[in-house]
C-alpha cells in the first residue's frame, strides 16, 4: 500500500472517530495528525485498538502526572510526541471508565407515610407532621 493510501485510510478512520466530537483539544490533535507525513504514524493510527480519543486520554494522564498544585503546563511538541508514542506503543492500553449503576425509584420504599396539612376541609382530621419527626 502506498504512503498516500495509508494516509488516506488513517485520516478516514480519524474522521469517523471524531464525527460527533465536541472536544476542541481532540480537534487540535486531529488537525495536527492531518498535517503529518510519517507513514509509520499513519500505519499505527490504522491499528484497531488505537483511537484519537484514547490518544487524548493518554496525553491528559501524562500531563496530570506532571501537574504541580493541580496545574500542568506542557509544550505542544511534547504533547505531539506523546501522541506519536501512544500510537506506536502497543503496550499502552487506556482503561475505560466503568459506568455507575442507576437504581429505579421502585426500589425505594418509604419507611413512614408522609401527609401534609393545610387549612382546607379536606385535611381535617389528618395528622400534621413536624420537621422534628424526621430527625
Kindly report, residue by residue over 87-134, the tens digit of the pLDDT.
999 999 888 765 433 443 444 444 444 444 455 555 555 566 565 655
Distance CA 37, CA 58 (A): 22
The answer to the question of residue 98 being in a domain is no
For residues 86 and 112, what is the distance between their CA atoms, to the nearest angstrom?
56
Total residue count of the chain as it appears in this document: 135
Q: Is residue 97 part of a domain?
A: no
Q: Is residue 123 part of a domain?
A: no
CA atoms of 127 and 108, how far apart (whole Å): 24
In a domain, 135, yes or no: no
Query: DSSP assignment of 24-85, as one string?
Result: HHHHHHHHHHHT---HHHHHHHTSTT--HHHHHHHHHHHHHHH-BTTB----HHHHHHHHHH
**Domain around 45:** 3-88
Residue at 122 is within a domain: no
Bridge-partner residues for 71, per DSSP? 68
Assigned domain for 124 exists: no
Q: Establish if 71 belongs to a structural domain.
A: yes
pLDDT in tens, 13-37: 999 999 999 999 999 999 999 999 9
**Any domain includes 79:** yes
Specify the number of domains making up the chain. 1
Amino acid at each position: 500500500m502506498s504512503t498516500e493510501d495509508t494516509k488516506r485510510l488513517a485520516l478516514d478512520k480519524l474522521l469517523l472517530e471524531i464525527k460527533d466530537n465536541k472536544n476542541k483539544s481532540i480537534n487540535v490533535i486531529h488537525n495536527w495528525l492531518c498535517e503529518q507525513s510519517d507513514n509509520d504514524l499513519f500505519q499505527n493510527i490504522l491499528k484497531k485498538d488505537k483511537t484519537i480519543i484514547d490518544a487524548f486520554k493518554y496525553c491528559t494522564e501524562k500531563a496530570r502526572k506532571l501537574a504541580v498544585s493541580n496545574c500542568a503546563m506542557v509544550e505542544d511538541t511534547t504533547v505531539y510526541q506523546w501522541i506519536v508514542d501512544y500510537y506506536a506503543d502497543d503496550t499502552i492500553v487506556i482503561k475505560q471508565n466503568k459506568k455507575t449503576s442507576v437504581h429505579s425509584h421502585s426500589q425505594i420504599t418509604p419507611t413512614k407515610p408522609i401527609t401534609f396539612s393545610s387549612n382546607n376541609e379536606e385535611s381535617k382530621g389528618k395528622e400534621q407532621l413536624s420537621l422534628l419527626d424526621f430527625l
